[in-house]
Amino acid sequence: MTARKHYPDKSLALIRKEQHVSIPCGIPYTFGIIGSPMKNLIPVDEMLANNRMDSLVDEVLEIDRAGHTVSTLSGEKYQYGKLIIATGSNPVIPPLPGRERKNIFAIKKDIPYIQEIIDKLVEAKDLCIVGCGFIGVEIAEECRRRRPDMNISIVEMLRHCLQLVYDKEFSLTAEKVLREQNINLLLDERVEAFLGEGAVEKVVLNSGAEVKADMVIMGLGAEANSGLARAAGLEIGPTKGVQVNRYMQTSDSDIFACGDCAEKVSFFDGQPSSLKLASISTMEARMAGANLFSLRRVNDGVIGVFSTILGGNVFAAAGLTLSQAEALGYSVIVGEAESINRHPGTMPGGANLKVRLLFEAGRYVLIGGQVTGATSGGELINVISACINQRMTADDVVTFQTGTHPALTASPVAYQLVNAAENAIGASRATGV
Identify the CATH number of the domain defined by range 93-220.
3.50.50.60
Helical (H) or strand (E) element with 85? strand 83-85
Count CB neighbours of 29 within 10 A.
18
pLDDT at 225 over 70: yes
Domains 2-17+58-88+223-291 and 93-220 share a fold: yes
Q: How would residue 330 be classed by pLDDT, with cut points 50, 70 and 90?
A: very high
pLDDT at 433 over 80: no
Which CA distances in Å does 172 have to 1, 27, 155, 179?
41, 25, 16, 11
As a whole number, the mean pLDDT across the chain is: 96
Does domain 305-431 sit in CATH 3.30.390.30?
A: yes
Q: pLDDT by residue (tens digit) across 75-101?
A: 999 999 999 999 999 999 999 999 999
Residue type present at position 255: I
The answer to which of 36-45, 106-115, 288-297, 424-433 has the lowest mean pLDDT is 424-433
CA–CA gap between residue 212 and residue 170 (Å, rounded) = 29
In the chain, pLDDT over 70 holds for what percent of residues? 100
Contacts of 390 (CB under 8 A, 6+ apart): none
Does domain 2-17+58-88+223-291 sit in CATH 3.30.70.60?
A: no
Q: How would residue 429 be classed by pLDDT, with cut points 50, 70 and 90?
A: confident
pLDDT of residue 430: 73
The burial of 233, by beta-carbon neighbours within 10 Å (0-12 exposed, 13-18 middle, 19 or more buried), is given as exposed
| DSSP at 152 | E
Cα angle for residues 79, 80, 85 (degrees, 5° grid): 120
Is there a contact between 203 and 216 (Cβ–Cβ < 8 Å)? yes
In the chain, pLDDT over 90 holds for what percent of residues? 98
pLDDT at 431 over 80: no
Is there a contact between 260 and 287 (Cβ–Cβ < 8 Å)? no
pLDDT of residue 55: 93
The domain ranges of the chain are 2-17+58-88+223-291, 93-220, 305-431
CA–CA gap between residue 302 and residue 306 (Å, rounded) = 12
Q: pLDDT by residue (tens digit) across 112-149?
A: 999 999 999 999 999 999 999 999 999 999 999 999 99
pLDDT of residue 163: 96
What pTM was estimated for this model as a whole? 0.95
pLDDT of residue 59: 97
Q: How far apart are the first and last CA of the chain?
A: 48
Count CB neighbours of 190 within 10 A.
14
Q: State mean pLDDT over 31-35.
A: 95
Q: State mean pLDDT over 158-183.
A: 97
Q: How would residue 432 be classed by pLDDT, with cut points 50, 70 and 90?
A: low
Helical (H) or strand (E) element with 6? helix 2-6
Radius of gyration from C-alpha coordinates of the chain: 23
CA–CA gap between residue 393 and residue 400 (Å, rounded) = 11
pLDDT of residue 246: 97
Is there a contact between 25 and 280 (Cβ–Cβ < 8 Å)? no
Contacts of 339 (CB under 8 A, 6+ apart): 352, 353, 410, 411, 414, 416, 419
pLDDT at 354 over 70: yes
Residues for the chain: how many in total?
A: 433
pLDDT at 104 over 80: yes
